[in-house]
A and B are shown apart, each in its own frame.
Chain A
Amino acid sequence: MINAVLVFNNNGQPRLTKFYTQLDTSVQQRLLSEIFTLVAARPPSSCNFLPLPPLLAPASSSSTPSSQESNDAPSLVTYRHYATLYFIVISTSTESPLALLDLIQVYVEALDRLFENVCELDLIFNFETLHAVLAEMIVGGVVVETGLDKVVEGVRSQGRVAKRPVNESRGGLSQGIWAGR
């Protein structure tokens, strides 16, 4: 199953954190920063799988017990890097690593359809839409939908997806409009 889905930007600023297990806020942040440390150090030519961060590493480092118990523990950190954002999925061994990469792709494509040329700003101002899309795809850590059309349709049926506020137009932004505020 999927244990957590995280989205953060190149500076490690979280844009979405979804944990399918109860976790202390402070531990969440710690995990986030550990994964960011790992992911930020990777050159773009690297593969999309991370070693387990220290917080998730099994207690005994030398031996990796192949017992059934380990099926419950998160063992796979898959990520994809899109422009300014990292999308991360932490999962157990019951998930297929390559399929998870496709899952992230579907997620991003769904966002792209909903926002039309999605960019980080859209996600900043519509973090509830990020959650809504995710809820269409994953419930309680289990994938419920992988079809792009159905995901988009599911989100749209819940109501209009807001674009970012009107005055956050692209042109305005690049002029450094924020500096004046």
Chain B
Amino acid sequence: MFEKDIYQLIRGLRAHKGNEREYIQKALQECRIEVKGQDMDQKATALLKLIYLEMFGHDMSWASFNVLEVMSSAKPDTEVLMLAENMLKKDLGSPDKATIALVLTTIPHVINPSMANSLLADLLPRMSHSHPAIRKKTIVTLYRLALVYPETLRPAWPKIKDRLLDETEDASVTAAIINVVCELGWRRPQDFLPLAPRLFELLTADKNNWMAIKIIKLFSTLTPLEPRLVKKLLPPLTSIIKTTPAMSLLYECINGIIQGGIMEAAEGTTEGDEVARLCVNKLRAMLVVEGDPNLRYVALLAFAKITASHADLVSQHSDVILECIDDADISIRTRALDLVVGMINANNLQGVVERLLRQLKTAGKAPTESDISHDRGMHEGIEPLADEDDEDMQATIKSKQQNTAQAPPLPNDYRASVIERILEMCSRDTYARMNDFEWYIGVLVDLVKQCPASVASGGFGAHHQHGLADASTFVADRVGDELLNVAVRVKAVRPEAAAAAQSLLLLDQREQIYPTGSSAGQGVLSAAAFIAGEYASMLPDTDAVLTSLAHTSSANLPAPTLASYLQAIPKVFAVLVAQHQGAWTESQQNNTTLLTARVIHFLEPLVHHANLEVQERAVEYLDLMRLAAEAASSEQTGSDSGGYTAPPLLFTQAIPALFTGMELNPVAAAALRNVPTPAELDLNTPINSNLQMLLVQAELDTDFDDDANDVYQFYNEKPSAVAVSSQQRPAAELLGEPTGSSRSSSYQQDPDVEPTDRDAMLRKKAERRDRNRDDPYYINPDRASGRSTPIHNILRNANGEELDVDAIPVMELKLGDSGSEANRPVPTKRAPPARKPKKHFEIAGDETLGDQTSTSLSASLSKSMLSRSQKSLLQVDSSGLSALSLSDNSTRNSASQIDIERRQAEEDEMSKAIKEVERLRLEMQRAQEGIRLRDMPEEGTMVKRKKKKKARVELLGDEAEATKGEADEVTTKKKKKKKRKEDDVAEPIAAQQDEGTDAETAPTKTKRKKKRLVTLDDDAVE
């Protein structure tokens, strides 16, 4: 077969333009064959080719074993290095420094804790290797070891520290150590404080800008712990800022001063003020400098870090920062946007928002299709295409190529983040900066049109179930929430909000607001429907809204939106029919009948909707509407009877009463927590001690009801008889009990403290009634008027007075005496006088209980979110390091002592294990001989022997650990065998036939084990 080397592969790939895929498949096939061949060179070449192809996404994990084979070959320099611990250990001791270097760069990629533990002893001596390149790589590799196995640092850190303190050490080694210390530093800054003098010395020696940057970064984590450092650092940092020609160093100086809190620490002193001014001025200069967008970007990054502590300093430069939100570069815009959110005040809010809105409107939307075409990786992985034009590839890459510039459309996630930022700016601190809510509602409607097309239109709305938020998909929901928020909180603009909701809902405007074929912006519909329902009386065109809501096309909306629609429809309907307070005329009747018919037509198919929420609401309102239809058609009109007839009570009272009650007010997220637990609340006593029994009973009942389930039950459920029997009690027992037994054992109250006398009951009742007079959620049995609805009256009459409502504990919501707190205007602190004559809007704040603000909840929430937050891709977790202390010298020494002792112990254990294996081997041999006694075909073992030889190669790479595992394996096998032997003795003749075949495999295994050990021994001898 024609065998390709790597060049031929690459060349071939380039030659097969158009059918690369086919070519690669062929090449992969060849590699598969080559890799299994005998020739080590050929194997190595095949692997090299596979590695090349892996870069293009062709998995090569299947070849990992062949990699080991190649590594184990005596031939050096195969260029293919992956894992195998003993191999690495051996190569670490190689006299050739290139080999050591290769191993050192390999280890970080393959390291795991147990491997780290075993490699540590081989790595440590390399730190004093004569060649600095080896020393620095060893130190970095030790750092990666420490990440997976923090104990590494106990023996390693003293040595690293000595290297750092050694002034004769090679500069590049020192720099590498600084890099490592910088990575370690932010985890445990306190451990590195003792190094401060040496670091300071290195910083002022001013030899290497790279190192200076890292030292400054390190210092910025140390200064918060040691305030005296600030004074020491200020002069050198100031001088660097003033003198250095390296922009990166200059920037990192400023950054370090900001991050290290040096600005705050030195505040008030002359040097401190000077440095603060210097920093901010330099940053400003970076922002305005022409032609270097990188400086603009990093300056914004630095500004963002200052805002937390020095908002005033940053806002002095708001002019230049605001300019950046219109920068041509989206990276810069995004950074500026982060900053701008913090700089918004009542004066500049509208200007900034309008600027951003203009940006969204003028830039085209990123077409989703083009995104997908770019994402080749998503579909079939990147293919190595034949290269397009070779001339291009010969262009020396040092000369920067200039492409023709074209303004790209805004990417969707940027679009989403702009919208989110706008909402954040406007709604911050309960609209503290908002002067004009009518304007804001207009902005919100505009934003709906700017919502980015969601990537997965099918997954739209899915977050309601899964709680997963994908920014680009759900901004529309956020806009909807805002609209709702404004409608609820700001009474004055409710009519405007209702009108806005109408404009979003109306079908004839749908084309314009929501582009066809995309669900972008549709997330707002749910909120819009709610507003339309809740404030239906304020809708400019109630009838049209109902028509749009109940349009057949609405049935295709995502379930959560549809559920909201279903809730809004009867509300709008109620308002519509209640609007006519006059006589019940024929036209009125026709109208109402038509309306009900339309709604019923819409609801009927939804009774079978897949979503339970939708289904339930549809069923409920369908019945209500049928009731309404009946009432409308049966009620005689005035013209029929010849006189004035009032419209049906159902329309004027019953249905409206369902939806009008106390006004909905915003409630703080933490309010529920502040509700005091009633003293008599006992959650531990079962509500019904018979519950289990009842459930079983209910299950039995439904069994008989539902024939269709029989088959399912037959196969899937435990025979119910068994379940019943476990619960069954003698019938006599049941009879003997008082009938009300289940009720008498209290739900919430301890029976002992339950007031038994009637007077006390009445007293309690009266007290509770008083307390709950204004509570909308409390149903007062004696209050016939007011909010008590007709339906409630009916219920009450039907059930009779004996229904003890008081026995149902009602949670009290102490919302102030007369709900005055609900309308409490938010203290509006606006320092600078408004530019425009400010309209006065009353904004309802969150209702809450007690003084504890919602912060506690949100804080704990965010904290738990943080801890749950997924590890980012590519992230190297260093959290293990934070538990390890390096500071104390004595413990460190003893610990490293312990470490060595432990290693010793491990080695002892290992030798013990090896002895154990040896012993087992002997036992097995004996056992095998025992089996051999039985007439087993001789050639059977012969065949196996051949196999064994083959297996030997594979086993070369095996580690000592594997032997341990084998030992266990062997013991279990051994036991099995013994057992089998015993069985044999019990029934020698009958079992003989089967045993023969069984035995054929059994001895092979034992033999194999033996061979492995032999191989290992050989290895040891080497």
Interface of A with B (CB < 8 Å)? Answer: 1, 3-4, 9-17, 19-23, 25-34, 36-38, 40-51, 54-69, 71-74, 81-85, 90, 94, 96-99, 101-102, 108-109, 111-112, 117-121, 124-125, 127-128, 135-136, 139-147, 150, 154, 157-159, 165, 170, 173-174, 176, 178, 181
Contact = CB atoms under 8 A, between A and B. Distances in A.
B332 A47 contact: yes
Contacts of B15: 178, 181
**Most chain B CB inside 10 Å of its own CB: which residue of A98, A102, A136, A181:** A98
B172 A150 contact: yes
B376 interface: yes
Interface stretch (B264-272, B379-387, B567-575): B379-387
A19 B105 contact: no
Contacts of B417: 61
A142 to B, nearest CB: 4
Given A56-B872, A158-B98, A178-B15, 14 more contacts: A11-B388, A13-B387, A29-B57, A41-B408, A44-B401, A51-B334, A69-B869, A81-B400, A99-B210, A119-B397, A135-B105, A142-B183, A145-B175, A173-B393
Given A54-B413, A144-B140, A61 B469 contact: yes
A101 B384 CA distance: 28
B804 to A, nearest CB: 48
A159 B55 CA distance: 24
Interface string B196-238: 0000000000001110011001000000000000000000000
Interface stretch (B289-297, B534-542, B557-565, B691-699): B289-297
B415 interface: no
B292 to A, nearest CB: 8
Contacts of A118: 396-398
A101 B807 CA distance: 73
Contacts of A34: 375, 377
A56 B413 CA distance: 13
Contacts of A99: 209-210, 213, 248, 252
Contacts of B175: 145-146
A143 B872 contact: no
B331 interface: yes
7 contacts: A29-B57, A34-B375, A72-B872, A99-B248, A124-B387, A140-B107, A147-B172
B382 A102 contact: no
Interface in B694-709: none
Interface stretch (B6-14, B157-165, B506-514, B966-974): B6-14
Contacts of B986: none
A112 B397 CA distance: 8
A71 B875 CA distance: 9
B56 interface: yes
B183 A40 contact: no
Contacts of B59: 25-26
Nearest to A134: B105
B374 A36 contact: yes
B301 interface: yes
A147 to B, nearest CB: 6
A32 B382 contact: yes
Interface of B: 7, 10-11, 14-15, 17, 48, 52, 54-61, 79, 97-98, 101-102, 104-105, 107-109, 133, 136-137, 140-141, 143-144, 172, 175-176, 179-180, 182-183, 186-187, 208-210, 213-214, 217, 247-248, 251-252, 255, 293-294, 296-298, 301, 308, 328-332, 334, 338, 371, 374-378, 381-382, 384-388, 390-403, 405-408, 411, 413-414, 416-417, 420, 424, 469, 471, 862, 865-866, 869-879
A73 B875 contact: yes
B928 to A, nearest CB: 42
A118 to B, nearest CB: 6
Nearest to A164: B7
Given A41-B411, A51-B334, A135-B105, A13 B381 contact: no
Contacts of B133: 136, 145, 150, 154
Contacts of B414: 51
A34 B382 CA distance: 12
B869 to A, nearest CB: 5
B400 A83 contact: yes
Contacts of B375: 33-34, 37
A35 to B, nearest CB: 10
A82 B397 contact: yes
B248 A96 contact: yes
Nearest to B301: A97
A73 B331 contact: no
Given A44-B402, A84-B392, A120-B397, A69 B377 contact: no
A165 B390 contact: no
A58 B137 contact: no
Given A29-B381, A140-B143, A170 B252 contact: no
A55 B133 CA distance: 35
A159 B102 CA distance: 13
A78 to B, nearest CB: 9
Contact of B109 (A14, A22, A42): A22
B174 to A, nearest CB: 11
Given A124-B10, A127-B55, A47 B876 contact: no
Nearest to B211: A146
Contacts of A69: 866, 869, 879
Nearest to A62: B420
Interface centre among B14, B137, B377, B411 (most CB of A within 10 A): B377
B876 A60 contact: no
From A64, A81, A84, A109, name the one whose CB has the most chain B CB atoms within 10 angstroms: A84
Contacts of A109: 398
B137 A139 contact: yes
B136 A112 contact: no
A74 B871 CA distance: 10
A12 B862 CA distance: 38
B403 A43 contact: yes
8 smallest CB-CB distances across A and B, nearest first, come from: A140-B108, A33-B377, A98-B248, A47-B293, A73-B872, A120-B393, A82-B397, A181-B15
Contacts of B388: 11
A61 B471 contact: yes
B420 A61 contact: yes
Contacts of B208: 146
A32 to B, nearest CB: 6
Given A72-B875, A159-B98, A94 B186 contact: yes
A125 to B, nearest CB: 6
Given A40-B374, A83-B397, A85-B397, A144 B101 contact: no
Nearest to B471: A61
A112 B399 CA distance: 11
A150 B399 CA distance: 23
Given A45-B329, A143-B210, A21 B176 contact: no
A43 B104 CA distance: 40
Nearest to A80: B400
Contacts of A14: 55-56, 382
A15 B382 CA distance: 12
Contacts of A135: 101-102, 105
Contact of A140 (B140, B378, B381): B140
Contact of A72 (B101, B296, B877): B877
A59 B871 CA distance: 9
Contact of A45 (B297, B405, B878): B405
Nearest to A121: B393
B394 A145 contact: no
A72 to B, nearest CB: 5
A36 B401 CA distance: 17
Given A125-B7, A159-B98, A145 B401 contact: no
A136 B400 CA distance: 24
A102 B245 CA distance: 14
Contact of B251 (A17, A55, A98): A98
Contacts of B79: 128
Given A12-B382, A43-B406, A85-B397, A90 B294 contact: no
Given A40-B374, A51-B334, A65 B862 contact: yes
